[in-house]
């Protein structure tokens, strides 16, 4: 009996996994921005909604760590010859 081959959703479409991760971070930034906006507006006190405050703080720390690691990885992957050529030209 022959088995039906179903494509693996992530392995066969690597862009889908990247899009899902990017969508998560966009939503996380939106939640952080909405929390900051409404807290600055005075709609609630951060102490009154302690669970939400902790969740947003964790999201913020995760986003900062991701931004730092992404920037550090991009800096490490630069070709030193290209950096030197760019600096020589004055850019």
**pTM higher than the cut 0.75:** no
- Residue 36, pLDDT above cutoff 70: yes
Cα–Cα dist 64/43, whole Å: 26
For 16, the 3-state DSSP assignment is helix
**With 70 as the cut, is the pLDDT of residue 76 above it?**
no
With bands split at pLDDT 50, 70 and 90, how would you rate the model's confidence at 5?
Answer: confident
Indicate if the pLDDT at residue 64 is higher than 90.
yes
Per cent of the chain over pLDDT 70 is 82
Quick one: what percent of the chain has pLDDT higher than 90? 52
Contacts 24+ apart (CB under 8 A), 25-28: 25/63, 25/66, 28/59, 28/62, 28/63
Across 24-30, average pLDDT: 96
| CA–CA distance, 43 with 39 (Å, rounded to integer) | 6
> Domains of the chain: which residue ranges?
16-89
């Amino acid at each position: 009996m022959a088995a039906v081959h179903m494509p693996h959703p992530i392995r066969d479409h690597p862009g889908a996994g990247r899009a899902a991760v990017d969508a998560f971070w966009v939503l996380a930034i939106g939640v952080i921005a909405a929390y900051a906006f409404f807290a600055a507006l005075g709609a609630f006190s951060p102490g009154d909604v302690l669970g939400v405050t902790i969740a947003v703080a964790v999201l913020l720390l995760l986003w900062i760590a991701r931004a730092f690691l992404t920037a550090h990885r991009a800096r490490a992957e630069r070709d030193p010859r290209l950096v030197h050529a760019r600096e020589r030209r004055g850019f």
